[in-house]
Amino acid sequence: MPNTRPAEIAPDATHDPARRMPGTRPFILDGLFRPLTALPGIGPRNGALMEKLILGPKVLDLLWHKPSDFIDRRFSPTVKDAPSGKIATLTVTVMKHFPNERKNQPYRVWCTDETAGINLVFFNPHRDYLEKNLPVGAKVIVSGTVENFNDKIQMVHPDAIGAEEDYDSIATIEPVYPLTAGITNRAVRKAVGHTLEGLPDLPEWLDPALKTREQWPAWKEAVQLLHNPPGENGLNPNFPARARLAYDELLANQLALAMVRHHQRKRHGRVFKTGGALRDQMLKALPFTLTGAQKRSLAEIDADMGAPIRMLRLLQGDVGSGKTVVAALTMLNAIESGSQAALMAPTEILARQHAETLRPLLAACGIRFVTLTGRDKGKSRDAILQQIASGEAQIVIGTHSLFQDSIAFADLGVAVIDEQHRFGVQQRLMLSAKGKGVDILVMTATPIPRTLTMTSYGDMDVSRLDEKPPGRKPVDTLLVSTEKAEDMMSGLARQMASGARIYWVCPLVEESEFMDLAAAEERYDILKARFGDQVGLVHGKMKAADKDEVMRKFTTGEISILVATTVIEVGVNVPEATIMIIEHAERFGLAQLHQLRGRVGRGGDKSYCFLLYVAPLSEMAKERLGIMRETEDGFLISEKDLELRGSGDVLGTKQSGLPPFRLADLTAHGGLLEIARDDASLLIEKDPDLTGERGKALRHLLYLFERDQAVQYLRSG
Ligand code: ADP
Ligand code: MG
């Protein structure tokens, strides 16, 4: 998750007020930033498990681990009236113990109230425990599921056993948490309990009018209610306590973005000459005219670059919408004014492909460029760096590492970042720290819903390429059960005979590139047995040179089927490719499917996309794949995907780059997001450095949701 960072666990020195920097975390939050192991009962072993479960190593992370259900133990019938199969809390007197004689027998404890008797049943009992906690003659409280067994009433392994005076603490609504192997609900409850005990009272950061209108509780109360849901409605996302905390989270997100945006813009950008002679030259060299959307986006970019503000703009454009040429024309603005431009791609292949696409265009304008990727080493790398440092290279095309490495530009004016969805706010901040007032254009091929644009790119202005270049033929999308894959292969053979080029994407195995690879290799072997040398394989673990070689062969048509894992190159452009086959399509996010499908239908020929699935499909999977068949509009697809799946996983697993929300759910809290955005932008207009009373309170909020990079930004900005 790109937006999380290792916990900041204050070393003792920071408790010394004299040594604490202004702008660092308020003391009052220290307790929440302790490591989990600071809680009683949590050691290194269960601490590690707990950390995995709650997605973080700190006490604070525990607060956000919200219950997903609850058990109502307030139901306290008499034994006679206790319905079988229901959870009940009973007050009974212990009559007699029946210890088991053999290991595989249960230990029984016979209890009664004034209405009936009940057996408490224990397998593999701890005798001492039972004798101590269920002494004969005592009144006890037991809570658990009541059952009828051979006409006798029994309770197997009560969930809770206590003395009479424990009634109030047992007969409650008990939250049920998401768990993991090795961590019981009881353990989570205990840890949460300790955390809630020490919860600080924080200054209120909400707008009073909003808080009153929504009837939201104070922060502390909201957290307590989150973990002690007062029944069914306590799990509803609109339950005031949940809604408030969701709003807090969204506000932290929007505030941080508004701050970044404010301070970015405040830094003076340079004024570039736009739309000059170089641009004319390149436009003349293009074999097409720009689409309306391209022209509009360029006009927006020109307005930013021609003004003394710093550009921070997102160019959203579906696959094939023509972002590359917009990038090139943008870079010319900087070069026309005598400075340099950089174009960064997420992978080496894409960087090289950009270079190849742009080579003739840049040559037509007499522009010198270099490419720089991880592959350049030693002397040749030094030579490239030298050209960048001297300004001899006017454009540098490379991977994202361009900005992580210590690469010195003579005078970088604009940076274009391609395929942004693997690139979080944090990295954008790093990047803008790199050059003084560098204009930034981020391009994303992942159409994302409006709400998600707000949460992830709220710091940027947005241009949309919502019109495809002319002459695209629609891609025919077919759903094919894997059982029918054989028939499809015969079809392929015919298509290949007439020169078709085919992508074959292998299943996504979550979080494991290794298994992706195994699946791809297996498919490759099968296809190779059938089609021989016409099949190539490319995957993330290959050496760069080998990858390039396979890609080159596919581009030139020496091979006709390219088997690939999804880790590779969603951006590759081979216009001759007309068939896309995606195995286990049901495992992919719609956005990913859409992107993959966008690899075909780029040339003049009719294209097809086969979505192979393993039957039977769930209703949800049917509906999702159905959407793929109905439309090619990426923005529409992403909105539908959000609707169907919720915000958690719209962009697929690893690469989303979206801020992970712990409490907010954009499908439920979309309205709150809008309010948070307006709230944040008004705030930053009035109090950009968060020094007013509400501003100071809001600093707590930024730390709570670990948006404190924004606070750091206040200081360094
Ligand atoms: P993206 O990066 O947005 O996925 P590309 O920039 O790779 O798309 O463009 C896809 C293809 O469309 C390229 O072959 C490009 O030359 C072509 N193209 C771009 N703009 C136009 C246009 N205005 N008219 C016709 N073809 C275009
Ligand atoms: Mg592209």
Q: Which of 289, 325, 361, 418 for mutating ligand 1's site (highest number of atoms within 8 Å of CB)?
A: 325
Q: Which residues, judged by CB distance below 6 Å to any ligand atom, belong to the binding site of ligand 1? A: 288, 290-291, 294, 317, 319-325, 445, 469, 573, 575, 602
pLDDT, tens only, 106-139 = 999 999 999 999 999 999 889 999 999 999 999 9
The pLDDT of residue 512? 57
Looking at ligand 1, which residue's alpha carbon is closest to its atom 22?
A: 469
Report the separation in Å between the CA atom of 602 and the middle of ligand 1, taken as the mean of its atom positions.
8
Mutual orientation of helices 590-597 and 619-630 as an angle, nearest 10°? 30
Q: Which atom of ligand 1 is nearest to the CA of 289?
A: 23
Q: Which atom of ligand 1 is nearest to the CA of 324?
A: 6
Looking at ligand 1, which residue's alpha carbon is closest to its atom 15?
A: 322
Q: Which atom of ligand 1 is nearest to the CA of 465?
A: 3
- For domain 475-631, the CATH architecture is 3-Layer(aba) Sandwich (3.40)
CB 443 within 8 Å of CB 417 = yes
The pLDDT of residue 433? 63
Q: Which ligand has the shortest distance to the CA of 357?
A: 1
Assigned CATH class of 74-171:
mainly beta
Provide, rounded to the nearest whole percent, the portion of the chain with pLDDT above 70. 88
Reported pTM: 0.73
Looking at ligand 1, which residue's alpha carbon is closest to its atom 16?
A: 322
Whether 420 has a pLDDT exceeding 80, the answer reads no
Q: Report residue 10's pLDDT band, with 50, 70 and 90 as the boundaries.
A: very low
When mean pLDDT is compared across 20-34, 295-309, 405-419, 453-467, the lowest value belongs to: 20-34
Instruction: Please check whether the domain covering 277-465 is classified as CATH 1.20.840.10.
Output: no
The pLDDT of residue 516? 60
Nearest 5°: phi and psi at 612?
-85, 135
Q: Which of 282, 283, 288, 444 for mutating ligand 1's site (highest number of atoms within 8 Å of CB)?
A: 288
List of E strands, 539-576 = 561-564
CB 58 within 8 Å of CB 9 = yes
pLDDT, tens only, 55-99 = 899 999 999 999 999 999 999 999 999 999 999 999 999 999 999
Name residues with Cβ closer than 5 Å to ligand 2, which is an ion.
Answer: 571
Provide, rounded to the nearest whole percent, the portion of the chain with pLDDT above 90. 56
Q: Comparing 277-465 with 475-631, is the CATH topology the same?
A: yes
Q: Which ligand has the shortest distance to the CA of 349?
A: 2
Report the separation in Å between the CA atom of 323 and the middle of ligand 2, taken as the mean of its atom positions.
6
Q: Which ligand has the shortest distance to the CA of 571?
A: 2
Residues 6+ apart with CB under 8 A from 512: none
Q: Report residue 595's pLDDT band, with 50, 70 and 90 as the boundaries.
A: confident
How many other C-beta atoms are found inside a 10 Å radius of the C-beta of residue 716?
8
Report the separation in Å between the CA atom of 512 and the middle of ligand 1, taken as the mean of its atom positions.
33
Q: What is the mean pLDDT of residues 139-150?
A: 94
The domain limits of the chain are 74-171, 277-465, 475-631
How many other C-beta atoms are found inside a 10 Å radius of the C-beta of residue 625?
19
Q: Which of 324, 358, 595 for mutating ligand 1's site (highest number of atoms within 8 Å of CB)?
A: 324
List of E strands, 238-350 = 312-317, 340-345
Q: What size, in residues, is the chain?
A: 717
CB 591 within 8 Å of CB 457 = no
Report the separation in Å between the CA atom of 593 and the middle of ligand 1, taken as the mean of its atom positions.
20
The pLDDT of residue 455? 84
Q: Which atom of ligand 1 is nearest to the CA of 326?
A: 6
Looking at ligand 1, which residue's alpha carbon is closest to its atom 24?
A: 469
Whether 15 has a pLDDT exceeding 70, the answer reads no
Q: DSSP letter string over 167-201? A: HHHHSSEEEE---BTTB-HHHHHHHHHHHHHTPPP
Whether 407 has a pLDDT exceeding 90, the answer reads no
Report the separation in Å between the CA atom of 281 and the middle of ligand 1, taken as the mean of its atom positions.
18
The pLDDT of residue 667? 81
CA–CA gap between residue 624 and residue 588 (Å, rounded): 10
The pLDDT of residue 5? 34
Q: What's the per-residue H, E or C state across 572-627? A: CCCCCEEEEEECCHHHCCHHHHHHHHCCCCCCCCCEEEEEEECCCCCHHHHHHHHH
The pLDDT of residue 371? 95
Structure tokens belonging to residue 671: 């309205």
Q: Report residue 309's pLDDT band, with 50, 70 and 90 as the boundaries.
A: confident
Residues 6+ apart with CB under 8 A from 297: 315, 317, 326, 463, 464, 465
